[in-house]
Structure formats: structure tokens, C-alpha cells
Structure 1
Amino acid sequence: MRAPSKFKLSSLVVGVATLFSASVSLADTGTPGLISTDAPGKWTKGDLHTHTVESDDSRTTQTLDFLLKKSFDYKLDWLALTNHLRASSYDNNGNKLPSSVAFAYPMESYEIQHVKALQSAGTYADKKIFSGFEWDVPTHDHVGVTLFDNATTLDTATRGVREFQYRFTTLAEDQFDSQDVAVWKSRGVTRTNSTAADALTALSWLKTNYPTTSFATLNHPSRNPGKYTVNDLRQMNDLAPDILFMIEGMVGNQMEPDRGGYTSDYTSANLPNRVYGGVDAMVAKVGGMWDALLGEGRHIWNIADSDSHFKIDSSSNSSGYYPGEYSKNYLWMPDTATGSAGMIDSLRAGRLFGVFGDLIDALDFRVVGSSGTAYMGQTIDVGSGERVKFTIKFKSPETNNYLKPVDGDQLAYMKPVVNHVDLIVGDVTAKAAAGTPAYSVATNASTHVLKRFTAADWKVGADGYASITVQLQVNKNQYFRLRGTNLAVDTPGLSSGGEPLADQKATGDNTTRLNAINDRNYSSLWFYSNPVFVTVH
């Protein structure tokens, strides 16, 4: 990776000096998270990866009501319930079932019915709550899947979930309703649940049966060595680009001693299977796998989730923060976005950013050229040699949810402060063709930190927003993305040369370990934007 430069921008500019300027260039003001835009809409906060007692590795204390209260106490606007697609032994209140059954059934009978009853009675009626599941993908790791009945509601396609679980998991047949099994067998349904090809078959099934009302997220993708190659990601995205278009780069389970639950041996060989500032190596490494995919112009977005199972149990085991407590997705939703179509279209549009520890609570990143304005997830078309304007505007809240001690109820009243923001650029070239050597290339050598902004480069306006303007002359197809942190460029054990270091395991007795985990996490806060693409004609 090339070092960032304040003066040499040869990848963007040929024979012309480039001007950097820092100023309050955006006239818009307003409430945090709301920036003037091209169409009426609003920023919303949510989590796409959560668990309740109905997951076999959660705790009986994490009932559905408990999870919902925590999520919305932390001011989320929408929430995906994604319990494991395995056998379930409890109802949503933590009561033991007479016998375990395929999760698709208690999802329908308990989880979904309880949410509907609450919202019908006026509780959480203004929130978007929907049920999906986390699937143990054959030969790979977990993928979160959500499928809706239709485009106008957020109703889960429960018949589809039952059939998906039968077809694409290894759960014993006697865990399914015998009448369902008989119907599936009468239709010639076969179980395909053991190979990488079977994983692609499942994506094909979603594409055939729920082409516009389903989506999938690649959860904690590098957690275990050898589970995903860049070929796998390309194959999945090539097969179903409108379904698999999100990587959970900002992973959950941040309260585990091995940050994010990345428990492989701490060896050099496993550095690709670590988190860096809590972020999966695919996304955290500049010029790495995510950049390789973006460098083909692929619309694959990074997201931030809690993966909440429980926080700290009675035995002082720790897992993750509650939804909205530490990790957040900020998603732009147009006023016209309703039902599942509105939710999926908003996610697919990619106008979102992820953040840890409320480092920021608002971000406006746009590129303005002669053809108009492009926001995160969008593409702007400009003439070769045209000067375009990049504007970055962000804001941090007065305090975050840092508790000290971690198992208490007293806020530390930490004001998160951004130390620097990186503008990262990479070239966009033709999409790699399957079967060619390029299809296996997991890096983008052109990607680098173009400019590192500090407080000396931005001005804070009366509205509390820090604003930066950058003018660049562009001559080739590229993408631009942002990341920011509260860390100094060189922070022992956490960052070096502005790059996050691999997170180390927290040790010690229960009290020491738990507080060390929490202190480490709030010492190393990050946000990542999704990219803006610039196409030159």
C-alpha cells in the first residue's frame, strides 16, 4: 500500500496541479443524520444480525421482548431477527419446547406472531421489525437470509423458510412436520446441503423463487480460515447480484475475548482471519478483497451488525453488545420506501455507512460534477479531465454508550472524537471472467489512501458538522470510499502508519478481562463508508 500524500496525486491527475481545500462548502443544516439530498428521505439506524433465546448458542435471558427493548432503547429504527436455521428448543419467552424442532416452525408460531401482536397493540408500531435467519452454508461460514412474501409488507415468507431449511441444511428429517415433508417429496424436492455447489444451488433457489423479495448477507466472512475465497464471493455475486450484495465487514460479537469471535490461532498464517479495529480483514485491509471486488465495479456493500446473542452471562462469559449499543448501520431511506421493496431497494442502493461506538452519527459523502451529484452507492459520469468536487461532512454525538464498568449502568460520558478521516481510492477495471487467472486475484494494487484529513483540514460549522471539500481532476474510472477513527496514526498495539493492527486476545480474571475488552473496543472506534464510483467518458 502506498503512503498517503498531501501533494502527489498522480493516480488521478496528469500534468495538472490538484487543489485541496477545507471549508464549510455545504449549505445544508439540520438534525444529526439528516443532510439535504436529491429526494425527500431520512437517515435510519438498524441491525441486520441478531439472535434471541431461540438460537441454540444464545441464553434464556435473551428473550424476544428483552432484545426488542434493548434495540429500541438504543434508538434503532429497524431490526432483523436472524436466529440460527438449526433446531430450536425454546419459544420466544425462553420456555422449553416439548421437543426440539426445525427453527422455521417456532419462528412462525412464536417470533413472528409475538412481533405482530406487539405492533398491533401499538408497541414498536413505528419500527420496522422482520424475521430472517442465519444459515450454516455448506463448506463455508454463515450467511444471513431474509425472504419476504411480497413487496408491500415486511411479512416473512414462512413457507419458503421451511422449505429452504429442509432443502439446504443437514437437520434431521424428523425435526420437520411430516405433512410438509410429504408435500416436498411429492414435488420431487431433494436435499442439497453438503458442497460448495449446494450453496450456489441455494442462491439460485432464492433467485428463482424470491428474485425481488430476498437478500443475503455474508456474515463474519473471515472468521475461520479457508471458508471463503475471492472466487467464492465472485461466484455468489455473479449468480445473484441483487440478492448477495452485502459483506458484514464490521462484525458483531465485539465483547468476545477474541474480538468478533475470530478464534483461530494467533499466528502469521492466520492474519487474514483476524479483525483489525474490529473489522474483518476483507474490508479493513486497504487493497484487499473488498477493494478487489469494488475494483470491478461490483456493488457490494459493507455493513455493521451486533450479532447479539447475549452480552455477559451468569458465568461471566461474554459475547456481544446489544443491537444499537456499539455497532450501527446508518441507511438512507427515501420517503417512498415502504414494505419489503423499500427496505431491500434502500439496502441495495448502498447509501449507508457503518460505525462503532457512535464515533459519528451523521455522514454526508458526495461527488459533484457537471452531470450532477452522486452519493454513496451511486455512480457519477464525468468527462475525461473534468474537475469534480468531493464533499465530506460528518458529526459526532456528545457522548456514546461506553459503560464503566462494563457490567454496570453508569456511562463513562465519553465524547467520541474523530482523529482523522481517510479518503481511499482504487481503479475500476473490467469485471474478471470466471475461469481466468484474474478471477482468483484477491487484491487491488491500485487502492491506496489518497488523502488523510485531520482537524487541521476541516472546519466545524455552527451546526456542529465538520466539513471538507476536495477538488480533483479525474482521468479514469475509479471508486472513492471513506474510513475514520478516533485513533492517532500510530497508537501502540492498535494502529501503525494509520492502518489498524490485528486485534489481540483479551486475558485475565473475569472482571479484568471483561473491562479490558470493553476498554479496548471503545479505544479503537471506526466508521466505514460505502463507495462512490466515478466513470470517465
Structure 2
Amino acid sequence: MTNVRIDSKARRGRFLSPLPLTGLLGLLGLATLAACGGGGGSSGTEPEAGAWTTGDLHVHTVQSDDSRTTQTLDFVLGKAFATHGLDWMAVTNHLRSSKYDNNGTLLAAPVAFGYGMDAYELPRVKALQSAGTYDKKLIFSGFEWDTPTHDHMGIGIFDGSATLTSSARAAQEFQYVFTTGDESLFKAEDVARWKAKYSQRTNTTAADALKGIAWLKENYPDSSYALINHPSRNPGKYTIADFRQMNDLAPKIVFAIEGMVGNQMEPDRGGYTSAYIDANKPNRTYGGTDYVVAQLGGVWDALLGEGRRIWNVANSDSHFEIDAAGNSSGYYPGEYAKNYVWQSKDSVGMAGLLNSLRAGRSFGVFGDLINALDFTASGSAGTAAMGQELVANAGQTVTVKIRFKSPPVNNYQRPVNSGNTGNMVPKVHHVDLIVGDVGAKAVPGTPAYDVATNPSTRVLKRFTSADWTLGSDGYYSITTTLTASKSQYFRLRGTNLAEDVAGLSAGGEPLADPRVSTTDNATRHDQINDRNYGSLWFYSNPIFVSVK
């Protein structure tokens, strides 16, 4: 075992034998959850009972105006659950107008999406599940909000307490107040009621965006979320002060950033189409990941360095994969991007999922680079897992355990979308244990509120195949120790890339993803797919170690 001080430079270590860990169970919605060490987070020696579940928080159907008529609700659900085996999924169409029903049939007149959700989306899901189709899956409806002056936010609003259900009524009211949709899209009786309730619509300024979040906090404080989608896709749409302000306003609602973005099949990875100039380097993806999360010591690390519980998630942002005109957009739900979310035995259904997401009990992965991850920190006070906090005394030894597993093959196809698997075996080249100091929370109105870096963040240790052992259960295991001297957070990232790969990585850091500009459609699609599968990453959420 190697003793590693938390202020040391990255260096290699030895390894210990693995501990048993049940793999991905995928049992969200089932009554029985197996005992699994993957969750960690216990004060005793017994593993936490629960299961890893997989899902996607950002998926579109034909009811979104930038989707395609082939992207019907039934088609998307089939891709997510029958083809790619997800456990849960959010349908998140744009909060604009619905021009089609679930089947791609043109409506007589467009309606506000809140009504389309109510008339088509929710009843169809209910009918399928009542008939036994996807009845063991968790399917819920949210929407993607054109947030005033910013880019998009993925919103979920739920009625109930112990049992949560998607609220079309809330979506309709939110859409009227906080978007610019024409009044003709709404029912006249609803408009009359809302006009009596609100002095005006609130949909143009940055202050209006905060009012929308405040509305969620006032009306659905425990049963809503607001996910910051593709934050750096367009220059100037979000600043770190925006993130801080939103999180300060409603920490139980604004608790996650879509760092591992969707739309990966676009020529500009993630749909990040800003001009390829130095000024727009923050508006690129790096290994498919938004600069906010991909930059070591950048925005995400600055937020974590204040002890903020703001997490990273991975989504598909599926609109369509390849259309009849040869345009490409994104992979289907579960095909390329996955969120793995730990749910304890007592944390099931929508309320349980929301609690686990809010608690950061999750990690994101591209291209099935891994399909299980056990990451814990242990000391005399117990054990903490992703999203949790371990309290330690100064000078105390903390033991960090990392266990991961990769599937035999991933979903790489050649040609893309052909159904012909490429028999690609995902293989982790190295795993980075990243550390950053935790200090005081930045105060609004001070210069610190605009600081978007955390200079203390660094790769504490880089592990390669020389540092891990393979157990009979298929898990690679690493154990290392460190001496606690100050309050810090620890997070993981891993990749299939070597440390220096021309155009893709340098010194272990991801480089900006190149654009694929080949004219021939089929060739371009395969080159995009090769680009994406050639640069795979996973990111864990952090463990906080607070030194008293």
C-alpha cells in the first residue's frame, strides 16, 4: 500500500486485493433490490443495500420542433428500454409548441407543449405500462426550457409527495408565465385564470430566469429539478456567477450540470458550433464533455471548491440519429451516454430517483467505457461514497478504494446505425484521482463570485493497468491511502486514451474535439462515430473529506 499525502504530485501506487461488489442490477421499479457494495456510504462494515440504475434525463420526441417525425414516442421508448436496457428515462421536449401527436400526425393547429404532454405523452406512457409494456421501467415527463438570456434548462415538476407523478398542469402554467409562446397556443380559460394570478408574463431577462427558478422553489420545493443543459454550447450564455446565483437561490432544485452533453453525432461534437478560434476554446467539447466539467481546475472544480453540491450528469439529448437528408444529430437514449445512479433499497420510484440525483449518488459514462464503479473513502468515522461526506481528523489516514468494470463489447457500429456491431471492446487506459481544496462559499457581490477556477485542483494520482488487479468477478481494483490535512473533495475520471494522443489528449488532459467536415454523408457519419468512440470518458461525482 502506498501512503499518499493530499498535497503530493501524481505518482503511481501499488494495489490490494478487491472486495466483492455486485454489478449493475438495473432494478429500478422492482420490489427487490440486492445487497451491493457499489453504493458505499455506510458507517459500519456492512455494504449498503441497493442497486445501480441507468437512465437519461434529456430526450426528445416528435413533439419537439427540431426533432423528426420518425422520432415517435413509441420509437424512443423502444430504443431506450428494449434495445439499450435503461431503467428510467425523462421525456423532455422543448417547452414550445406541439405540432404533432406522439405518432407524428400533424395536428389541426399547434398547441403549447404543456397540453401536448397532457393529451398525448402522459396517456400513452400510462397505457403502455398498464398493458405490461415497460411496466418495470420508470418513465416520466419533463421539458426543456428556453431560459431567458441563457441556454436551456431541463425541468422536471412532479405532483405528490411519497409518490411523484409528472405534472402537466404545472408545465402549462410555467410555460405561460416563463416563455414567449403566443397566447393562442393556450386555452382561453387558462389564460384568463393566469392573468388574474400574475400581473405579467416573465420571460425576457436574466432576472426573469431567476424568477422561474424561484417559482419552482415556491410551488414545488421538494418535487422539482432544474438541470443546466449544454452550458457552454454558445458563448456568454452562462457564467459561473449564474451557476452560483441559481444554486444559492434553490440548492435542492439547481443541483446538476449536464457536463457530458448529448448531440454527439453532430459534425461539431455536442452541437458546439461556435467558430473554431482561440476565444471560443471554452465553447468546445473536450472528449465529448463540456469545458465546464472537462477543464481541470475550471468551473466545476471552482464550485466544488466551495463545498457546493453541484453534480455532473451525462445525457443523449436525442432528437434523431440520422435523417433522410443525411443530417446527423445524436445517439439514442442508452446507446452512447449513460447516467448510473445508485438507489438504496428504500429509495425507489420517482421520489427515490430524485433523492439519489440530488444527493450526487451517480457517475456518467460515454460508450460503455465502464458499466460499474465503486468509489469510496473510509476513515475511523465510516465510509463515504460519491456525493457523500467523510469527516476526518487532521493527520488521520483515509483509505480510497476504486473498483470498476467494463462490458465485453459496447454499441459501436460500422457502418453507424447499421445494426452491425463493430465488436469494440471498451478498455480503460488510466483512471485519475483528482483532488481540490474546499474553502468558504463565495459571497454575492464580491470578486470571488466571478472566479471560475480552482488553482488547488490537480491529478493526485494516475492509475494504469500496472496499478490495478483484476478479480474473478471481472472488477479492476485499486486501493490507496492518503493523510488528511485539510478539507478537500476527490473525484475520478477515466478514459480509453493514452496520455498523449495526437489531436485528442496531451499530458492526460482531453483536447478540444475536432470538427468532421467530410462531404459524403455515409463517410462523414462513420468518421463522426469513430471520433466519438475513439475518445471515451467517464466522470464520477465527488466525495468530500472534511477535516475538523
Check whether the contact 1:253–1:308 (CA below 8 A) recurs between aligned residues.
yes
Check whether the contact 1:12–1:474 (CA below 8 A) recurs between aligned residues.
no
After TM superposition, the score normalised by the length of structure 1 is: 0.96
For 1:68, give the aligned amino acid.
Answer: L
Check whether the contact 1:167–1:189 (CA below 8 A) recurs between aligned residues.
no
Check whether the contact 1:12–1:472 (CA below 8 A) recurs between aligned residues.
no
Q: Provide the C-alpha distance between the structure 2 equivalents of 1:30 and 1:213, rounded to a whole number of angstroms.
A: 30
Partner of 1:42: 51
Q: Provide the C-alpha distance between the structure 2 equivalents of 1:42 and 1:407, rounded to a whole number of angstroms.
A: 31
Cα drift, residue 512 of structure 1: 1.4
1:515 pairs with 510, 516, 526, which one? 526
2:471 pairs with 461, 467, 484, which one? 461
Task: State which drifts further: 124-133 or 406-415.
Answer: 406-415
Q: Provide the C-alpha distance between the structure 1 equivalents of 2:214 and 2:4, rounded to a whole number of angstroms.
A: 46
Q: Provide the C-alpha distance between the structure 2 equivalents of 1:475 and 1:148, rounded to a whole number of angstroms.
A: 43
Q: Is residue 2:171 matched to residue 1:179? A: no
Partner of 1:59: 68
Unpaired runs of at least 5, structure 1: 1-5
Q: 1:66-113 deviations in whole A, cap 9, x for unaligned?
A: 000000120100000000000110001100000111100011010000
Check whether the contact 1:19–1:471 (CA below 8 A) recurs between aligned residues.
no
Partner of 1:127: 137
1:435 pairs with 445, 470, 491, which one? 445
2:198 pairs with 188, 202, 213, which one? 188
Check whether the contact 1:85–1:134 (CA below 8 A) recurs between aligned residues.
yes
Specify the SS of the correspondent of 1:511: helix
Partner of 2:147: 137
For 1:258, give the aligned amino acid.
Answer: D
Specify the SS of the correspondent of 1:235: helix
Q: Provide the C-alpha distance between the structure 2 equivalents of 1:381 and 1:19, rounded to a whole number of angstroms.
A: 26
Partner of 1:75: 85
Specify the SS of the correspondent of 1:244: coil
Q: Provide the C-alpha distance between the structure 2 equivalents of 1:486 and 1:50, rounded to a whole number of angstroms.
A: 26
Partner of 1:155: 165
Check whether the contact 1:234–1:439 (CA below 8 A) recurs between aligned residues.
yes
Partner of 1:536: 547
Q: Is residue 2:238 matched to residue 1:245? A: no
1:349 pairs with 359, 374, 393, which one? 359
For 2:105, give the aligned amino acid.
Answer: N
Q: 1:297-318 deviations in whole A, cap 9, x for unaligned?
A: 0000000000000000001100
Q: Provide the C-alpha distance between the structure 2 equivalents of 1:431 and 1:388, rounded to a whole number of angstroms.
A: 25
Check whether the contact 1:12–1:475 (CA below 8 A) recurs between aligned residues.
no
Cα drift, residue 25 of structure 1: 4.0
Q: Is residue 2:171 matched to residue 1:169? A: no
Q: Provide the C-alpha distance between the structure 2 equivalents of 1:203 and 1:215, rounded to a whole number of angstroms.
A: 9
* Shift in CA distance, 163/206, structure 1 to aligned 2, threshold 3 Å: same
Q: Is residue 2:26 matched to residue 1:24? A: no
Q: Provide the C-alpha distance between the structure 1 equivalents of 2:197 and 2:233, rounded to a whole number of angstroms.
A: 37
Q: Provide the C-alpha distance between the structure 1 equivalents of 2:315 and 2:84, rounded to a whole number of angstroms.
A: 14
Specify the SS of the correspondent of 1:21: coil
Task: State which drifts further: 478-487 or 32-41.
Answer: 32-41
Q: Provide the C-alpha distance between the structure 2 equivalents of 1:32 and 1:168, rounded to a whole number of angstroms.
A: 39
Q: 1:440-499 deviations in whole A, cap 9, x for unaligned?
A: 000000001111100000011111111000110010000000000000000111101100
Check whether the contact 1:20–1:471 (CA below 8 A) recurs between aligned residues.
no
Specify the SS of the correspondent of 1:450: strand
Q: Is residue 2:417 matched to residue 1:415? A: no
Q: Provide the C-alpha distance between the structure 2 equivalents of 1:89 and 1:346, rounded to a whole number of angstroms.
A: 35
For 2:297, give the aligned amino acid.
Answer: G
Specify the SS of the correspondent of 2:17: coil
2:7 pairs with 6, 11, 16, which one? 11
Specify the SS of the correspondent of 2:165: coil
Cα drift, residue 407 of structure 1: 2.9
Specify the SS of the correspondent of 2:274: coil
Check whether the contact 1:419–1:487 (CA below 8 A) recurs between aligned residues.
yes
Cα drift, residue 335 of structure 1: 1.6
After TM superposition, the score normalised by the length of structure 2 is: 0.94
Cα drift, residue 19 of structure 1: 9.8
Task: State which drifts further: 31-40 or 406-415.
Answer: 31-40
Q: Is residue 2:343 matched to residue 1:333? A: yes
Cα drift, residue 32 of structure 1: 4.2
Task: State which drifts further: 389-398 or 335-344.
Answer: 335-344
For 1:53, give the aligned amino acid.
Answer: V
Cα drift, residue 158 of structure 1: 1.6
Cα drift, residue 366 of structure 1: 0.1
Q: Provide the C-alpha distance between the structure 1 equivalents of 2:394 and 2:420, rounded to a whole number of angstroms.
A: 56
Check whether the contact 2:142–2:157 (CA below 8 A) recurs between aligned residues.
yes
For 1:56, give the aligned amino acid.
Answer: D
Cα drift, residue 373 of structure 1: 0.1
Check whether the contact 1:360–1:416 (CA below 8 A) recurs between aligned residues.
yes
Specify the SS of the correspondent of 2:89: strand
Q: Provide the C-alpha distance between the structure 2 equivalents of 1:354 and 1:35, rounded to a whole number of angstroms.
A: 18
Check whether the contact 1:220–1:280 (CA below 8 A) recurs between aligned residues.
yes
Q: Is residue 2:294 matched to residue 1:284? A: yes
Task: State which drifts further: 149-158 or 45-54.
Answer: 149-158
Check whether the contact 1:364–1:394 (CA below 8 A) recurs between aligned residues.
yes
For 1:60, give the aligned amino acid.
Answer: T
2:221 pairs with 205, 211, 214, which one? 211
For 2:403, give the aligned amino acid.
Answer: K
Task: Give matches, 1:351-366, under 5 Å.
Answer: 351-366=361-376
For 1:275, give the aligned amino acid.
Answer: T
Q: Provide the C-alpha distance between the structure 2 equivalents of 1:66 and 1:35, rounded to a whole number of angstroms.
A: 35
Partner of 1:109: 119
Q: Provide the C-alpha distance between the structure 2 equivalents of 1:112 and 1:407, rounded to a whole number of angstroms.
A: 29
Q: 1:31-58 deviations in whole A, cap 9, x for unaligned?
A: 3465354432100000000000000000
Partner of 1:236: 246
Identity percentage of aligned residues: 62
* Shift in CA distance, 55/366, structure 1 to aligned 2, threshold 3 Å: same
For 2:480, give the aligned amino acid.
Answer: V
Partner of 1:3: none
Check whether the contact 1:325–1:401 (CA below 8 A) recurs between aligned residues.
yes
Q: Provide the C-alpha distance between the structure 1 equivalents of 2:131 and 2:6, rounded to a whole number of angstroms.
A: 61
Check whether the contact 2:18–2:471 (CA below 8 A) recurs between aligned residues.
no
Q: CA RMSD in A?
A: 1.5
